[in-house]
Structure 1
Amino acid sequence: MRNASKNTTPSPGRCATLRGRAIPFWSKGRAACAWSASSSVCARFMENQHDAAALFHSLRKPCGAPPKGQPMLYYLALTLKPYIGAINVFTYHTVRAGGAAITGFLFCLLFGPAIIRALREFKVGQIIKEDHVADLHALHKGKAGTPTMGGAMILLSTALSLLLWGRLNNRLLWLAVMVLLLLGAVGFIDDYIKLKRKHNDGLSARAKFAGQILTGLLLGLYLIGNPITVSATYLYPRDVTDWQALSKAFLTAIQSDDPSPARAIWLHMPLDARQKTVEAARHAADSPVARRELLQGLNSVLSQRRLYDPHLWPDEMLTPEAQALAARNPQTLSDLEVTRLDRLLIETALPEAIAPSVPNLHTKVGIPGFKDTYIPLGPFYVLFVILIIVAVSNAVNLTDGLDGLAAGTSVISILTYAGIAYVVSRADWSQYLFVTYVPEASELFVFGAVLLGAGLGFLWFNAHPAEIFMGDTGSLSLGGAIAAMAILTKQELLLPLVAGLFALEAASVVIQVASYKLTGKRVFRMAPLHHHFELMGWSETKVTMRFWIIALLLALMSFSALKLR
């Protein structure tokens, strides 16, 4: 029989020590969350044992994992925020983007040598074909046997970094990752077939196009059925730009007897909605449940035919669309038109809280340089998405012909769209620049930062003379990422500037093929364009550096185009 009074030391694997007390990791037969292992360290920062114990219990979760959709570092920052205020910086987009870029870079440096060694052992090397251009073969024959499929390094580093820094409950982030991985899979299969056959012919053109078209089709269909822009009728959380301003406006309207648009909205709510809205308005700034109640109250007004009052909403306050609807007899308006008019009235009454909307904006394409000018595509927007995915991914693939060329130019384009994503995710900046507001695009800023870091990490090994090539695994996935960011930021027509160098490379191939078939003559010494300059006598490094400069200048021009309206 064991001595109950015997002093025993708990095993480190079974408990954690917190200010001299042993706290078991196991409770009621269930494993406690692994996060609790950090509590003994964090307790050193607490001023008293009570705070340390409170921290331990806040970290100790029976589920064994952070809440669904939250990255590890973001969740940890939220958990420790009441105890270590400075750690709250890890919830900021800018801080997470910086951390993601550095992490992506370091992961590439960490895994790069091992991946290169493994590819060499498996003899996964580049095949240099002796084609009809003898001079080009002489320039590149020394690259034969260099490991390829290095795009896997970028994909691995990106995935691991996003698990740490990305908010995984953001659907735009998942859409971008989906495009990245699907096209990466197409490229991987293409590379594998090339290496298996010991020939430069991998997937057939039809099979490769099928993979690209399928990726674009999936993305396009999702965007048609699930808009990422501000709704034009019923209010969604993404339509609210400032919850505190919305709460303040309602509380002011409720407490005042003076007629105002906000009070008119309040009075037209059903009685039960009013009661819920009063309580919700007090907590909407920090409570998701209260926010839902508040939006339900607002949405209950959208079917009211008597909301419009010309004394509260004079014509000078209304948009032209609202004026046209208000000028008609409300009784003759269709239900959809009434909903649209009421939505516009709410936007006018609460301009600091509700984002302005445009009907069917999710299927329209904004024209750079023109204010509030769009090309309505309707269901054909799916075809437009497919075209962008196919064109950009193939253009990046064509550019991948020199050491560091595709990686460097891709990094520049991705960095540009990451900056654009940050701009369009802010309602104030979007309204100032007259660009489409995409409420959930902030995580694309983190996504772009991850690819920036991973791309630079890959470039560490891909710089001339390259130790590894990205292959189609990398070029197709990076091209898909650029295309996805253009689509998801609703800045599709900026692609000719942001990815202008890729467009030039692709155009050179089209021109060369068309000219040869029509006239029997070639415009360039060789296509794509970078080989033309190589055969003119430029060194590989000079071509790469000058193309980087061109890509950078085009990126700067694209930022300028955001302001020109």
Structure 2
Amino acid sequence: MLIYLAENLMMISSRFYVIFDLLYRAIFSLFTSFFICLWIGPPFIAYLQRISYSQAIRINGPQAHLQKSGTPTMGGLIILFAIIISVLLWANIFNKYIYYVLFILISYGAIGFIDDYKKVINKNTIGLTVYVKYSLQSFIAIVISFIIYIIGENTCATALIIPFVTHVIPQTGMLYLPLTYIVIVGTSNAVNITDGLDGLAIMLTILIAAGLALISLATGNEKYATYFNIPYLNYANELIIVCTAICGAGLGFLWFNTYPAQIFMGDVGSLSLGATLGIISILLCQSFLLIIMGGVFVIETLSVILQVVSFKLCGQRIFRMAPLHHHYELQGCPESRIIIRLWIISLMLVLIGLISLKVR
């Protein structure tokens, strides 16, 4: 929005040229979403406490978590509001990739909001049934998959970059549809599963979004794309604005969500942020790279799958409790230590993912 205001102001003074610069807009996007979260965070938390919109704690979860009972939830609304406002202010709103991302962010946020609302009203951890939740997620993912495929069919937009594999960028063809579906739905639920400790999921999201911001900068620049031997995508550069908005909103929310948390982001935050990371990686042709950068999300999700399969088939549990972070909690590892160690691992994985671009 502001980019068009600046275009008119350019006629008055060349000083407003700075607003056209992508990196400046990315920085402004980060600070805008960050300060929006700091601004609306305290009154929103106070409002949720006043109307008793608190997180329902699993009875069969770690006993230490029972003390978190009464902590407000639905904090993801703060994140979504900050991201949307920041993107509308600083991004080129006529860029089709911006529409794709905002569609996923808002629609998955709506699913998460309904899920959280039912949990709060019913005072339990059930919310939407698994069938309803996955049906809604699947429908949205399928719709956006077809839209992107039809518009970008047989172009660089439907290519797939394989990390550490040199000079091989295959066209996915019809496989693009199931791939997009799996990445969006899978990442959405992976972030949701990981969101069990104070500040864990949001910091991992910030780190991955920062990595994707650098990749979008390279993908949307012909010179950098050639240097890294990745497809040049004309619309990709604006995704850096979205990524930095996520980073800023995430940092602003972490101000209140760090251990011990004053508010939880709930499904409205985890489902929408996960799906947004997924659609951004798809638009950048970096689905495999997201697996590396989001390695902690992958491991947490696999721990749940392995636990369920093992118990169903053998009647035995591999972990004391799934997902994996609860296993370490029950082994006596302090929550804050688990959180920070997983942050460190995630940072290393993001750096490895960025290195993989150069060694291709």
Could you say which TM-score interval applies, normalised by the shorter chain? over 0.9
Residue 534 (structure 1) aligned with residue 329 (structure 2): yes
In the other structure, the counterpart of 1:88 is 17
In the other structure, the counterpart of 1:104 is 33
Q: CA deviation at 1:495?
A: 1.4
Looking at structure 1, the residues matched to 312 and 148 of structure 2 have their Cα atoms a distance apart, in angstroms, of 39
Looking at structure 2, the residues matched to 371 and 490 of structure 1 have their Cα atoms a distance apart, in angstroms, of 15
Instruction: Report the AA paired with residue 177 of structure 1.
Output: L
Residue 79 (structure 1) aligned with residue 79 (structure 2): no
In the other structure, the counterpart of 1:417 is 212
Q: CA deviation at 1:536?
A: 1.3
Of 120-129 and 394-403, the range deviating more from structure 2: 120-129
Instruction: Report the AA paired with residue 509 of structure 1.
Output: V
Q: Following superposition of structure 1 onto structure 2, how do residues 158-557 of structure 1 map, counting pairs within 5 Å?
A: 158-227=83-152, 360-557=155-352
Answer yes or no: is the 8 Å Cα contact 1:394–1:479 preserved in 2: yes
Answer yes or no: is the 8 Å Cα contact 1:424–1:436 preserved in 2: yes
Structure with larger Rg: 1
Question: Which aligned runs of 4 or more in structure 1 are off by greater than 6 angstroms?
Answer: none
Looking at structure 2, the residues matched to 430 and 376 of structure 1 have their Cα atoms a distance apart, in angstroms, of 17
Answer yes or no: is the 8 Å Cα contact 2:158–2:285 preserved in 1: no
Looking at structure 1, the residues matched to 158 and 206 of structure 2 have their Cα atoms a distance apart, in angstroms, of 28
Answer yes or no: is the 8 Å Cα contact 2:160–2:285 preserved in 1: yes
Q: CA deviation at 1:468?
A: 0.4
Instruction: Report the AA paired with residue 186 of structure 2.
Output: A
Looking at structure 2, the residues matched to 376 and 80 of structure 1 have their Cα atoms a distance apart, in angstroms, of 43
Answer yes or no: is the 8 Å Cα contact 2:157–2:284 preserved in 1: no
Q: CA deviation at 1:375?
A: 4.1
In the other structure, the counterpart of 1:126 is 55
Looking at structure 2, the residues matched to 113 and 548 of structure 1 have their Cα atoms a distance apart, in angstroms, of 25
Instruction: Report the AA paired with residue 97 of structure 2.
Output: L
Q: CA deviation at 1:362?
A: 3.6
Q: CA deviation at 1:534?
A: 0.9
Question: Deviations for 1:10-34, whole angstroms, at most 9, x for unmatched residues?
Answer: xxxxxxxxxxxxxxxxxxxxxxxxx
TM-score by length of structure 1 reads 0.62
Question: Deviations for 1:124-149, whole angstroms, at most 9, x for unmatched residues?
Answer: 00111322x5xx12x11111011001
Looking at structure 2, the residues matched to 361 and 167 of structure 1 have their Cα atoms a distance apart, in angstroms, of 21
Q: Report the 3-state secondary structure (helix = DSSP H, G, I; strand = E; otherwise coil) of the residue aligned with 1:537.
A: coil
Looking at structure 2, the residues matched to 108 and 529 of structure 1 have their Cα atoms a distance apart, in angstroms, of 30
Looking at structure 2, the residues matched to 426 and 362 of structure 1 have their Cα atoms a distance apart, in angstroms, of 14
Q: CA deviation at 1:513?
A: 1.1
Answer yes or no: is the 8 Å Cα contact 1:366–1:372 preserved in 2: no
Instruction: Report the AA paired with residue 299 of structure 2.
Output: L
Answer yes or no: is the 8 Å Cα contact 1:363–1:379 preserved in 2: no
Looking at structure 2, the residues matched to 463 and 110 of structure 1 have their Cα atoms a distance apart, in angstroms, of 17
Question: Deviations for 1:398-419, whole angstroms, at most 9, x for unmatched residues?
Answer: 0000000011111111111111
Answer yes or no: is the 8 Å Cα contact 1:438–1:490 preserved in 2: no
Answer yes or no: is the 8 Å Cα contact 2:74–2:267 preserved in 1: yes
Looking at structure 2, the residues matched to 408 and 432 of structure 1 have their Cα atoms a distance apart, in angstroms, of 30
Q: Following superposition of structure 1 onto structure 2, how do residues 18-37 of structure 1 map, counting pairs within 5 Å?
A: none
The structure carrying a bigger helix percent of its residues is 2
Q: Percent identity?
A: 39
Change (3 A) 1:360 1:425: closer
Looking at structure 2, the residues matched to 493 and 533 of structure 1 have their Cα atoms a distance apart, in angstroms, of 28
Q: CA deviation at 1:198?
A: 0.8
Q: Report the 3-state secondary structure (helix = DSSP H, G, I; strand = E; otherwise coil) of the residue aligned with 1:365.
A: coil
CA RMSD of aligned residues (A): 1.3
Length, aligned pairs only: 360
Looking at structure 2, the residues matched to 470 and 362 of structure 1 have their Cα atoms a distance apart, in angstroms, of 32
Q: CA deviation at 1:434?
A: 0.9
In the other structure, the counterpart of 1:24 is none
Of 159-168 and 147-156, the range deviating more from structure 2: 159-168
Looking at structure 2, the residues matched to 360 and 114 of structure 1 have their Cα atoms a distance apart, in angstroms, of 47
Looking at structure 1, the residues matched to 244 and 105 of structure 2 have their Cα atoms a distance apart, in angstroms, of 14
Answer yes or no: is the 8 Å Cα contact 2:156–2:233 preserved in 1: no
Higher relative contact order (CA 8 A, sep 6+): 2
Q: Report the 3-state secondary structure (helix = DSSP H, G, I; strand = E; otherwise coil) of the residue aligned with 2:160.
A: strand
In the other structure, the counterpart of 1:115 is 44
Answer yes or no: is the 8 Å Cα contact 2:73–2:263 preserved in 1: yes
Looking at structure 1, the residues matched to 318 and 71 of structure 2 have their Cα atoms a distance apart, in angstroms, of 31
